[in-house]
Amino acid sequence: MSLHTDVPAATRSVAVGGATPADRIRRSMRREPVLWSLPVLLLAAVVIGAVASSDFLTGANASAILRASAITGTAAVGMSLVTLSGSFVSMSLQQTAMLSAVAFAYSMNAGSSASVSLTVAVAACVLVCLLEGGFVALGLNSIVTTLAVGTMVFGAVSWVMADRLGSITFASSAFGWLTSRVFGIPVQVIVFAIVTAVLTIGVRRTVFGRELVLVGANRDAAHLSGINIKRVVVLSFVGLGLTTAIAGIMAAAVLQQATPTMLPTLTTDVITAVLVGGIAIGGGNGSPIQAAFGAVFISTVSNVMVLAGLSEGQRQAVEGALLLCAVIVLHLVQRRGKR
Amino acid sequence: MINFWKEYRPQLVVLAIALIYVFATAPLFRGSAALYSVLLGFATIGIVALGLSVTLIAGEFDLSVGSMASVAAVLAVRLSGAGVWAAIGVTVVTCALIGALQGFLIARLRISSFVLTVATFALFAGLSWVIAGGSPVSVKDFAATSFLYERWGSVLAPDIVVALVLFAAIGLFLHWARAGREIYAIGGARPEAISKGVSVTRALTIAFGTSAGCAALAGTMASLKVGSAAPNDYGNLLLSGVAAALVGGIGIRGGAGTVGNVILGVAILSVAASGLSSAGAQGYTIQLVTGGLLLVMVLVDFAELRPTARTGRVRPAKAT
C-alpha cells in the first residue's frame, strides 16, 4: 500500500547504518500499527465482499464504491486538519456543507454564471468555518461552538428558504461535468483524489503542515518554538471550510437540488472516516490520507452490506459498531505505543 | 438572596430579558397556560439536560443522549403491549445500564468520553432503526397510555411531576450524597481526588448511567404520550440538552454548577421556545435562537474567566 511511503520522519531517522529496508519496514509497522491495520481491514472487506457476492469484484462496483466515498471523503480530508491540530472535530459539517449547496443552488437559479455561483458557495462556507475557527482559537470548546453555529446555520437557511417550500431544485447543464467521467473515472473521484493529495503533501511536506501537527501534538512546545497557535487553528478551520464547500457543491450537483436537511448522516460519516482512519482524536498524529482511506473503507463495508441485503438501519448500526470497535482498539494500541 | 443573585447573575439577566421579550411579543403567553407550556419543557429538554449536566460536572461529555432517547422511545413503544409501567421501567433500566457500561469503559480504558460517545451516538442511532424495524412504530392500545395526558390542577401533569421529582432527587444526590460529592471532585480536580482515594470508575459509571437513564426517561415519556415513535426521532435532544445545561451555566471544564443552573437553563430555553411558538414562530426560528443563546452564553462564560486562566494561548486539548 502506498501508505508505507508515508513513514513519519521520526521513524525514518531511526534507521541507522546496517538496517535493511525490510528491517525498517518491520520497525515502522511495529511503531505505527495504524499504518497497516486499515489497509488490512480494507483487504478483508474486499475478500468478504468477493466471497459474498459475484457482483462485488466488478469495475462498475469499484467505481460505485469510490463515487459513494467521494463526498464524505473530501469533507473528511478537510476535517483531518482540524483533528490533527488538536481541535477535535466540527459538529456542524452537515450544516456547512448544506449551506454551500444551498448558496450554490440559489446563485445558479438566480442566473449567475458558474464561476460566480462557485465563489458564492465557497465563500459562504469558508466564512462560517472562519467564524468557528476564530471562536475556537480564542479558547472556546470546539464541540460546543460548532454545535451552536451549526444550529444557527440550519435555522437561518431554513428561514430564508421557508417561502420556497424548503427546497431548491435547479437543472443546469453547466455542472453536468461534475457527475460525468474522465477516462472512465467519475469526476467526483478525481476531485476527491486531488484534494487528498494536496492536503496530504501539504501536511507532511510543508512548514505550515508540520506546524499544524506540532500544535496538535504539544501546544506548549509549539508555543515555545514561536508558532502562532491561533493562526494555525483558524487556518485549519479554513481548510475544513474549503473541502466542505467542495463536498456540498458535489452533493448539490448529484442531487440536482438543495434542502436544509440534505446529507443527514454526513457529520457522523465524516467523524467515522477520520477515526476509523486512525487519526488520533487528541491531534498530532496522523495524515489526511488516512481519513481518505477511512472514507473508502466505510463505503466498501456499506457496499458489501447492500449486496448482502441489509436495510439502511442495519447498515447504520453495523457502521456504528465498527466505529466503536475502531476507537477502542486504536486507543489501546496508541496507549501501548506511548509506553 | 444576594448570594443567589451573585451565583446566577448572567442566567437571571437572560431569563428576565427572555420573559420581557415574550410578554411583549406574544399576547397569548399569559398565566397558567404559559407556565404549563414552560413546565412541559422540563419533561423533555429538562430531563435530558439534567442527566447531561451530571457528566459535565464529572468533567466528561455524553454525546450519545439524543440517540439514546431515540432508542428508548422506539423500545418503549414496542414493549407497551406488556403494560405501560413495565415498558417504561424495562426501557429506562436497560438504557441506564448501557450508559453505566459506557462510563465504566471510559474510566477503565481511560479513553476520551467524547470519542467513545461519538461512536455510541452513531451506534444507537442505527439501533433505533433496527429496533423499530425500519419504519415508525405506534402503540397498540391507546387507552393504556392516555393517562399521560391527564392534568392535575392547571399546571401539573404526570410527566411534569416526574421531571420535578427527578430534579429534586438528583439535586439532593449531588449536594448531599458522598457519591455525588465525588462526582464534583473527579470533575474539578481529578489527580487530587484520585490521590485521596476517590474512585474514577465509580463516579463515571454513576454519571453516565444517570445521563443515559435520564435521556431514556425523556424519550420514553414523550413517545408514549404521542403514542408513536419514528427511528431517531429525538436526535435533536442532544443540542437542546447541551444548550440548556451550558446556557444555565454548568461549566464545560467540570466540577462546577448545580441543579439550580440546570433549572435556569431549561427555564430560559423553554420560555424562549414556548413564547416564540405562541407568537407564531416556526421551528427553525427556535433553533436559531437556541444556537445563538448557546454561543452567547459560552462567550460570556469565557469572558468571565479569571484573566490568569486565559493567557492568550489556546487551552491544551483535554482528550486522550
HEC profile of chain B: CHHHHHHCHHHHHHHHHHHHHHHHHCCCCCHHHHHHHHHHHHHHHHHHHHHHHHHHHCCCCCCCHHHHHHHHHHHHHHHHHHCHHHHHHHHHHHHHHHHHHHHHHHHHHCCCHHHHHHHHHHHHHHHHHHHHCCCCEECCCHHHHHHHHCCECCCECHHHHHHHHHHHHHHHHHHHCHHHHHHHHHHHCHHHHHHCCCCHHHHHHHHHHHHHHHHHHHHHHHHHHHCEECCCCCCCHHHHHHHHHHHCCCCCCCCCCCHHHHHHHHHHHHHHHHHHHHCCCCHHHHHHHHHHHHHHHHHHHHHCCCHHHCCCCCCCCCCC
Beta carbons within 8 Å of B33's beta carbon, 6+ residues apart = B154
Minimal C-alpha gap between A165 and chain B (Å): 13
The pLDDT value given to residue B175: 92
CB atoms A282 and B319 under 8 Å: yes
Residues 41-70 of A with CB under 8 A from B: none
The pLDDT value given to residue B320: 38
Minimal C-alpha gap between B217 and chain A (Å): 22
How many beta-carbon pairs under 8 angstroms link A with B?
A: 177
- In chain B, whose CA is at the least distance from the CA of A218? B316
- Separation of first and last alpha carbons in chain B: 42
Which of A152, A216, A315 is closest, CB to CB, to B291? Answer: A152
What averages of pLDDT result for each successive group of 10 residues across chain B (320 residues)? Answer: 78 91 86 89 95 95 94 94 89 97 95 89 91 87 76 84 95 94 93 93 96 96 89 86 91 87 95 88 86 88 60 44
Q: Does A148 touch chain B (CB under 8 A)?
A: yes
The pLDDT value given to residue A339: 52
The pLDDT value given to residue A2: 38
Minimal C-alpha gap between B309 and chain A (Å): 10
| CB atoms inside a 10 Å sphere around CB A329 | 14
What does the alpha-carbon distance between residue B216 and residue B66 come to, in Å, rounded to a whole number? 9
Q: Taking each helix axis from N to C terminus, what angle separates A229-255 and A114-138, rounded to the nearest 10 degrees?
A: 140
The pLDDT value given to residue A29: 64
What averages of pLDDT result for each successive group of 10 residues across chain A (339 residues)? Answer: 41 50 70 68 83 80 87 95 91 94 87 87 96 92 90 90 70 66 82 95 92 91 91 96 94 86 88 88 86 91 87 87 87 72
CB atoms B284 and A280 under 8 Å: no
Burial B190-202 (b: 16+ CB within 10 A, else e): beebeeeebebeb
Beta carbons within 8 Å of A140's beta carbon, 6+ residues apart = B298, B299, B302
Q: Under a CB-based contact definition with an 8 Å cutoff, are residues A320 and B123 in contact?
A: yes
The pLDDT value given to residue B184: 95
What does the alpha-carbon distance between residue B147 and residue B109 come to, in Å, rounded to a whole number? 44
**Phi, psi (degrees; rounded to nearest 5) at A120:** -60, -45
- In chain A, whose CA is at the least distance from the CA of B319? A282
The pLDDT value given to residue A9: 44
What does the alpha-carbon distance between residue A70 and residue A47 come to, in Å, rounded to a whole number? 22
What sections of chain A are H helices per DSSP? 9-14, 21-31, 33-52, 59-84, 93-109, 114-138, 142-161, 187-205, 207-217, 219-224, 229-255, 266-276, 288-307, 312-338
The CA distances from residue B98 to A160, A318, A324, B72, B250, in Å, are: 41, 17, 14, 11, 24
Q: Under a CB-based contact definition with an 8 Å cutoff, are residues B208 and B100 in contact?
A: yes
The pLDDT value given to residue B153: 79
pTM for the model: 0.86
CB atoms A331 and B239 under 8 Å: no
What does the alpha-carbon distance between residue A121 and residue B110 come to, in Å, rounded to a whole number? 41
What does the alpha-carbon distance between residue B98 and residue B111 come to, in Å, rounded to a whole number? 17
Contacts of A143 in chain B (CB under 8 A): 61, 63, 114
Residues 156-175 of A with CB under 8 A from B: 156, 158-159, 162
Minimal C-alpha gap between A228 and chain B (Å): 9
Minimal C-alpha gap between A17 and chain B (Å): 36
- In chain A, whose CA is at the least distance from the CA of B299? A140
Which of B243, B314, B319 is closest, CB to CB, to A230? Answer: B314
What does the alpha-carbon distance between residue B214 and residue B194 come to, in Å, rounded to a whole number? 27
Contacts of A152 in chain B (CB under 8 A): 287-288, 291-292, 295
